[in-house]
Amino acid sequence: MTQRIARLVLLVLGLTLGLVTMAHAEDGYDLWLRYRPLPVAQAQIYAPHLTSVVAGDRPMLSAARSELQRGVSGFLGHDLPAATSIGDGALVIGTPAEQPAIKALNLPLSGLGEEGYLIRSVTVDGHKVTVIAANSDRGVLYGAFRLLRQIQTGQGIDKLDMADAPKIRVRLLNHWDNLDGSVERGYAGASIWDWWRLPDLKDQRYTDYARANASIGINGTVVNNVNAKALSLTAPYIAKTAALADSLRPYGIKIYLSARFSSPIELGGLKTADPLDPAVRAWWRAKTDEIYKAIPDFGGFLVKANSEGQPGPGDYHRSHADGANMLAEALAPHGGIVMWRAFVYSEHDASDRAKQAYNEFHPLDGQFADNVLVQIKNGPIDFQPREPFSPLFGAMPKTREMMEFQITKEYTGQATHLVYLAPLFEETLKADTFVRGAGSTVARVIDGSLEKHALTGMAGVANIGANRNWTGSDFDQANWYAFGRLAWNPDASSRDIATDWVRMTFSGDPAFVTPVVDMMMNSREAMADYMTPLGLHHQMATGHHYGPGPWVHELARPEWNPVYYNKADAGGIGFDRTKTGSDALAQYNPRAAKIWSDPRKMDERYLLWFHHLPWDYRLQDGHTLWDGLVMRYQSGVDQTGVMQITWTGLAPYVDAQRFAAVSQNLTIQRREAKWWRDASISYFQSKSGLPLPAGYTAPALPLEAYEALTFPYAPGQGH
């Protein structure tokens, strides 16, 4: 009887708790660091291993300790007391240098470098404890987040023995945030940096930003737009940046700045910014010294030069290496680095835009100083739904090449489309450059293992803004998360990362996790199909890049026009980048080029990137190119319907607020996918003159109606 009553009470309690949990609206602010109460049975398993924390009090160790305390109080509903002596179930965290108990254990830390960690269940003086050990405080912090992830993803912590270290040294966000608070290509509201109130502002949001980044191993941030203003290098703005650096430092996040190349003229009153001019060099040295005085651990400069109207060394007939090395010289005494972007193309260069960055940078191999990284976008054009890897990867063996991915979805659905980008990142990282034989993947180029470079890096253009949920939509948080995980380990799997993220962000119930992960994994392919199937690219509308514009042909620079890329006419469609066309293929190692050279054998998802083909060309499945194109647009649209159905069925697992927010976005995505299909098919049909394959619905409106659409206030255009 008593047992039955107890069971009943438990049931009622459980139900009430369950209902409370379901009803508890979540606005997404907590990201993947939600630390929600665990069910009683699970809590009972973890609790004996989480009784106290023994930690030093240096800033990063305190950050690690307080994160563990926050986690435990969330999971278990009680405090994790800080202790000085070790008891059963203690978490003992630190480095051998400052934590005697860890020194005594003589753990194998030597292979973990400066940022790796080791987590082990051990016995100390007869007490069963968990040790998080590292060679540096930052490593300890990463280990603390790793232990929390173990609990968040429902895995055991009683017999731990794991060690990990990042494969890439510089793991950065690039904010394209302007000093006026707008964000270029930002879809999550205004900039989180309140330059106006800085340096006095101490915003909890900055601490939470740093926590989120540290939890995924990001160790630096470039806070201002690469289309930079010299103003950010003036004394008042250096003071503001220093205040931000103070907020981020306890979480191991270093500050970097985008530097405007012409600053010596604009701020220093010099007549030139020629990188070989002694006065210019002296100006940069003095400016750099001034920054380091305010920010002793300043990371360095990111530079966009001679690109889309930005000033650069080319203005003085100097090379990119001359420009980069001048800044490198100023930064070297302080241990700082230069990230020099390879995103260059010119309207004065009549060659295929996809070839221009290679043409300009490849001859400079061996000329860049040791503290320069050349930052290369994943593909040769500009963050498209699908691009082959940039031919620069692996082509400059004496140069430190770093990756630039775009986390914000400028061309891939902006904040409203559910598109998980990690499969796109993974596709690039796993691609084989063949430069040193099979297995010379892009990942091995940028992690330095291929050419034995120690200075390595990966940057992601941030999708973060002042919106309460940080990224403008709940699912875009996954792209920030996945970027960090891949920067830590470029060999990680996008599916595994999605699985962790879903468990931490929503629910660990397999009935939820499996369909959501599948939906995320399919989403990029769906988007590529409804926007730019079969390797089409840069078909987005002008300026804001929101929606389709395959007909656009009147823009000042030829390579800004979608028609430049689709080359659709009565004869066919696609960009011939073989020998008979621009021969961009020749920029790749012959073995890599071979993969894309024969349209009949290649992965057709890249087809029209490399080949111009007649409308009646037979695809590998036997359909004509025209029919196959229409079918792929439709299949992308159909996938958005499947996503809606999947999500609708998952309502019981998600709080109402986030469920509704995602549902609304899926409705927008479906409508816009249809718009993409209809507008694109209308335009291409005006060229092919062919009927739609049987059973495929005609576009809802005539072509002119799509061409007439304007969106003056589309977000992300910056100032």
- Kindly state the smallest distance separating residue 227's Cβ from ligand GCV, in Å: 5
- In angstroms, rounded to a whole number, what is the distance separating the alpha carbons of residues 356 and 378? 15
Print the binding letters for residues 497-516 with ligand GCV: x by CB under 6 A, - otherwise. --------------------
Is 576 a binding residue for ligand GCV by CB under 6 A? The answer is no
Print the binding letters for residues 409-428 with ligand GCV: x by CB under 6 A, - otherwise. -x------------------
Which residue lies nearer to ligand GCV by CB, 343 or 512? 343
- Kindly state the smallest distance separating residue 68's Cβ from ligand GCV, in Å: 38
Token pair belonging to 403: 């990756």
Instruction: Tell me if 162 sits within 8 A of 112, measured CB to CB.
Output: no
Which residue lies nearer to ligand GCV by CB, 219 or 224? 224
Candidate residues 226, 396, 482, 516; the one interacting with ligand GCV per rule CB under 6 A: 226
Return the half-sphere exposure (C-beta side, CA atoms, 13 A cut-off) of residue 118.
20
Count the neighbouring beta carbons within 10 Å of the beta carbon of residue 473.
30
- Kindly state the smallest distance separating residue 576's Cβ from ligand GCV, in Å: 24
Token pair belonging to 176: 């394209």
- Kindly state the smallest distance separating residue 469's Cβ from ligand GCV, in Å: 23
Contacts for 34-41: CB closer than 8 Å, 24+ residues apart = 34/74, 34/152, 34/504, 34/505, 35/70, 35/71, 35/73, 35/74, 35/75, 35/148, 35/152, 36/74, 36/75, 37/74, 37/75, 37/76, 37/77, 38/75, 38/76, 38/151
- Annotated active-site residue in 158, 308, 347, 569: 308
- Annotated active-site residue in 26, 115, 352, 410: 410
Which residue lies nearer to ligand GCV by CB, 176 or 615? 176
- In angstroms, rounded to a whole number, what is the distance separating the alpha carbons of residues 493 and 484? 13
Is 609 a binding residue for ligand GCV by CB under 6 A? The answer is no
Is 233 a binding residue for ligand GCV by CB under 6 A? The answer is no
- Annotated active-site residue in 67, 115, 177, 382: 382
- Kindly state the smallest distance separating residue 408's Cβ from ligand GCV, in Å: 10
Q: How many residues bind ligand GCV (CB under 6 A)?
A: 10
- In angstroms, rounded to a whole number, what is the distance separating the alpha carbons of residues 76 and 42? 9
Print the binding letters for residues 330-349 with ligand GCV: x by CB under 6 A, - otherwise. -------------x------
Print the binding letters for residues 520-549 with ligand GCV: x by CB under 6 A, - otherwise. ------------------------------
- Kindly state the smallest distance separating residue 406's Cβ from ligand GCV, in Å: 8
DSSP string over 465-487: -SSTTSSSSTTTHHHHHHHHHHH
Kindly report the three-state secondary structure assignment for every residue of 310-348: CCCHHHHCCCHHHHHHHHHHHHHHHCCEEEEECCCCCCC
Count the neighbouring beta carbons within 10 Å of the beta carbon of residue 642.
13
The helix/strand/coil state of 623 is coil
Name the phi and psi angles at 526, rounded to 5.
-60, -45
- Helix extents (H) in 96-136: 100-105
Is 650 a binding residue for ligand GCV by CB under 6 A? The answer is no
- Kindly state the smallest distance separating residue 340's Cβ from ligand GCV, in Å: 13
Candidate residues 35, 75, 176, 368; the one interacting with ligand GCV per rule CB under 6 A: 176
Which residue lies nearer to ligand GCV by CB, 217 or 314? 314
Print the binding letters for residues 368-387 with ligand GCV: x by CB under 6 A, - otherwise. --------------x-----
- Kindly state the smallest distance separating residue 659's Cβ from ligand GCV, in Å: 33
- In angstroms, rounded to a whole number, what is the distance separating the alpha carbons of residues 220 and 298? 10
Candidate residues 138, 211, 304, 417; the one interacting with ligand GCV per rule CB under 6 A: 304
Is 227 a binding residue for ligand GCV by CB under 6 A? The answer is yes
Please, which residues have CB within 8 angstroms of residue 9's CB and are 6 or more apart in sequence?
none
Which residue lies nearer to ligand GCV by CB, 184 or 432? 184
CA 515 → CA 34, 260, 642, 649, 660, distances in Å? 21, 46, 11, 10, 18
- In angstroms, rounded to a whole number, what is the distance separating the alpha carbons of residues 586 and 502? 42
- Kindly state the smallest distance separating residue 689's Cβ from ligand GCV, in Å: 33
Is 410 among the catalytic positions? yes
Task: Let me know how long the chain is.
Answer: 719
Which residue lies nearer to ligand GCV by CB, 215 or 378? 378
Which residue lies nearer to ligand GCV by CB, 560 or 653? 560
Strand pairing class (457-461; 400-406):
parallel
Is 266 among the catalytic positions? no
Which residue lies nearer to ligand GCV by CB, 146 or 185? 185
| Residue 356 φ/ψ region, left for φ over 0, alpha for ψ in the -120 to 50 degree band, beta for the rest | alpha
- In angstroms, rounded to a whole number, what is the distance separating the alpha carbons of residues 120 and 710? 59
Count the neighbouring beta carbons within 10 Å of the beta carbon of residue 340.
28
Which residue lies nearer to ligand GCV by CB, 404 or 604? 404
Is 184 a binding residue for ligand GCV by CB under 6 A? The answer is yes
Which residue lies nearer to ligand GCV by CB, 410 or 426? 410
Print the binding letters for residues 132-171 with ligand GCV: x by CB under 6 A, - otherwise. ----------------------------------------
First to last CA, the chain: 72
Is 185 a binding residue for ligand GCV by CB under 6 A? The answer is yes
Is 347 among the catalytic positions? no
Please, which residues have CB within 8 angstroms of residue 43's CB and are 6 or more apart in sequence?
37, 75, 76, 77
Judged by the rule CB under 6 A, the positions of this chain that interact with ligand GCV are 176, 184-185, 226-227, 304, 308, 343, 382, 410
Give me the active site residues, please.
308, 382, 410
